[in-house]
Chains A and B, each alone.
Chain A
Amino acid sequence: MIRQEFRILRVDVSTGKGKIVLLGGRNEVAGGSGLAAMLYGRYGLPDKPWDDAAQPLIFAIGPLTGYFPLMSKMVCSFKSNYHNEYTESHAGGRAALSLRFTDLDALVIVGRAKKLSCLAIGTQALELKDASFLRGMDAEGSGKLIRKMFRDGGGHRSIMRIGPAGEGRLAMASINVDTYRHFGRMGGGAVMGAKNIKGILIHGDCDFPVPAGKAYSALYKDIYGKVTSTEMMRKYHNLGTPVNLAGLNDIASLPWNNLQRTADPAIASITGERFADETLLRNGACSGCPVGCIHIGFFREKMAVDNRYHYHQVAYDYEPIFAAGTMLGVTNTFDVLRILEAMEKAGLDAMSAGVALAWATEATARGLIAAKETVLPLAFGDAQAYLQAASHLGSGTTDFYKLLGQGTLRAAAVYGGSEFACVLGQEMAGYATGELFFAAQTLGFRHSHLDTGAYSYDQKNSDKDVHKAVDFLIADEPGRAFLTSMVGCLFARAVYTEEQLAECLAVIGFTGLAGSIPAASEHIRRLRWQVRAATGFSPENFSIPKRFYQVTTWKGPVDGGYMDSLKAEYGRKILELIGTVGITDSGPEKE
């Protein structure tokens, strides 16, 4: 329903009781990213550790969710066990529309359940059920059983769950959303695990009147036309994000073998085309998105000498392919899917897990770790070994894997080899595009490549103007923060310009916000950094490992001095932003 106030459900899973809270602040924080930061400011404990039972796990959607195409994402925010600072992760699937149709702007989970449990919420439901029998179960199997535990509304609900990695509270644990999407980065799965919550089911089935008059439907139709017909969206629809594999390899920006190289002729067997031709089974979409960028591949296994096969479905995208493919020197499309499935089942963030295993492989080659630590010897290109290593990592079967699951740098602190750990705040995203990306990702908010436009800037600019580059980041960020407050898919940012968003907000009745987008965008950007700073952020907390100084891209060898200056200047600008914001006053709760 279109209301200016935020309607929040705060559930304390230690008691199983919830509370509906109405909060102001719409015109200042909009929703999504901004709302999540505001809620952490209100409910978070910045000084307490990430796994303190009272820390909130926040899920937020935006004012346009469900009202327009591609407003199909959800923001999850929490204090991360990766760096013990506030962070955000984004996912699609059915989660956003399910929350919309539960008539909520956000779900805030606090407390720790007495037993491993599943939480179900709906328009007329709030239930916490014992799920001890799901302990240790993989994300796929858990999804199936959670569907059975709650029977109402089958086929139309969102189910988020964790695997063994989340139960083990690994910093690399993701939250699986509706099988094919994830809150991947920064260990959201561990926060769910720390709350003893195995699954969250959202059953949204209410409905709202659309605004009177024809304007809303006409605008919807107009935007629907744009997102289904522009060339820009066609890329996501056709080969999907893996189309970038060959392109980035061509400009020497694709990490290979733990970033020992940025290009390799072996790309020919692992391009977007190869995945589509060999493995693509079908496409999928997030609810509310006609683009349908989800690419689901298959592999089959022969299970007996007679012709007996079974098959598996695994979603693939550019970055999981980088992580389980090129970074590990694995160049067979089906092998990549096999490794991704093992990570998926364990409930690991694929990027973190792939980059961590790439480091472990190089550390093995250099004699820093032995086969007894990794259980089996790791070697670039050995898909079978990675398949097993991924499940050891997810389940923390040895002390080595337990440590590695807490982050590559933590393992490197014990075993050595931090200089070749590909960690930029968190295990790197798959864009070795150059100095600005490395510097920006190191300080990035959620350690996604889409956090800033740095990867794109690197591909277009070869000059080394520190101020021009950092000014670009600073100028670009408010627009991104506003779109992630809507919470629109960032793939649609060419369609959802500021003018377009203003029109969308106005037509459904958020006229105040529509008229104050620049101010709100700036406020949200600053608020997010300030909330992060309250949990201990400082640019000094993060450094760039030596490996990134040895990279060569299309522009030639990385210029270390330039990169250091970029990081210093970006850090200085962020501190400036942090120093100049006041915490949003969302007013008193109305309960």
Chain B
Amino acid sequence: MIADTSLPNKPEAPKMKQLTTPRLDQCIGCQSCALACARLVYKKLSWHTAGIRIHSAGGLSTGFVANRCLACDPAPCAEACPTGAFSSRRGGGVIVKADLCIRCGKCLAACPVEGICRDTLGNVYVCLHCGRCVDFCPQNCLEMVAVAGDAEGAA
């Protein structure tokens, strides 16, 4: 059974914001964001099966990159999903219905930026743009931004 990743996208959840990484050049590689996402969203202890995954780029001398969903609109991963487990989210990115997922991995292949992660059982993990990781970044690398042109999000 994969985690019920649709939870943070209940109707009352803010839909029209996106997780961005505007200051990732300040990243110290502490993994706090990935651990927070895994812990709070996916209910796991992991630095891997999370919506954001921090990697060094060719050794620790060259800084860090964040693998995460860029909130494409339309979302190629949703278009590739054969069962409707991934559907496009208003404002970009995807809504995931874990119970519809058959672990085919088509979404992974379709994502151009390694935004989706798969564990050894084939379960998929993607950022839901809920913003829960943001407060756990000690370097202020991450930010939730309102989607331009959206009536709810752009006050």
Partner-B contacts on A (CB < 8 A) = 66-67, 69, 97, 100-101, 123-124, 143-144, 147, 154-156, 178-180, 205-210, 216-217, 220, 224, 228, 282-292, 294, 313
Contact = CB atoms under 8 A, between A and B. Distances in A.
A156 B49 contact: no
B26 to A, nearest CB: 8
Contacts of A66: 35, 45, 47
B40 interface: yes
Contacts of A180: 60
17 contacts: A66-B35, A66-B47, A97-B47, A101-B47, A101-B48, A155-B58, A155-B65, A178-B60, A179-B61, A206-B46, A207-B45, A207-B49, A282-B28, A283-B28, A285-B29, A289-B30, A291-B138
Contacts of B38: 207
Interface string B22-48: 000000111110010011100111111
B53 interface: yes
Contacts of A291: 138
A284 B39 contact: no
Interface of B: 28-32, 35, 38-40, 43-49, 53, 55-61, 63, 65, 119-120, 136, 138-139
B138 A101 contact: no
A414 B68 CA distance: 61
Contacts of B43: 209-210
Contact of B57 (A143, A155, A208, A288): A155
A284 B138 CA distance: 12
A155 B136 CA distance: 21
A69 B35 CA distance: 10
Given A156-B55, A179-B60, A287 B31 contact: yes
Contacts of A156: 47-48, 53, 55-56
B32 A217 contact: no
B47 A210 contact: no
A292 B28 contact: yes
Contact of B60 (A69, A228, A284): A284
Given A180-B60, A285-B28, A287-B31, A208 B53 contact: no
A208 B44 contact: yes
Given A287-B29, A287-B47, 11 more contacts: A66-B35, A97-B47, A124-B120, A155-B56, A155-B57, A155-B65, A179-B60, A224-B32, A288-B35, A289-B30, A292-B139
B110 to A, nearest CB: 22
A288 B31 contact: yes
A343 B55 CA distance: 27
B35 A284 contact: no
B30 A155 contact: no
Contact of A207 (B30, B119, B136): B119
A292 B29 CA distance: 9
A413 B32 CA distance: 50
B59 A179 contact: yes
A282 B63 CA distance: 9
B48 A207 contact: yes
B31 A284 contact: no
Contacts of B48: 101, 156, 205-207
Contacts of B32: 69, 224, 288, 290
Contacts of A292: 28, 30, 138-139
Nearest to A2: B45
Nearest to B38: A207
Contact of A154 (B28, B55, B60): B55
A43 to B, nearest CB: 28
Contact of B46 (A154, A208, A282, A284): A208
Contacts of A290: 30, 32, 136, 138
Given A101-B48, A156-B53, A210 B31 contact: no
Nearest to A294: B28
Contacts of A144: 59
A282 B56 CA distance: 14
Nearest to A212: B43
B43 to A, nearest CB: 5
A66 B32 CA distance: 10
A305 to B, nearest CB: 27
B39 to A, nearest CB: 6
Given A66-B35, A207-B38, A287-B31, A224 B45 contact: no
A123 B120 contact: yes
Among the interface residues B28, B120, B139, which one has the most CB atoms of the partner chain A within 10 A?
Answer: B28
Contacts of A208: 44-46
A67 B45 CA distance: 7
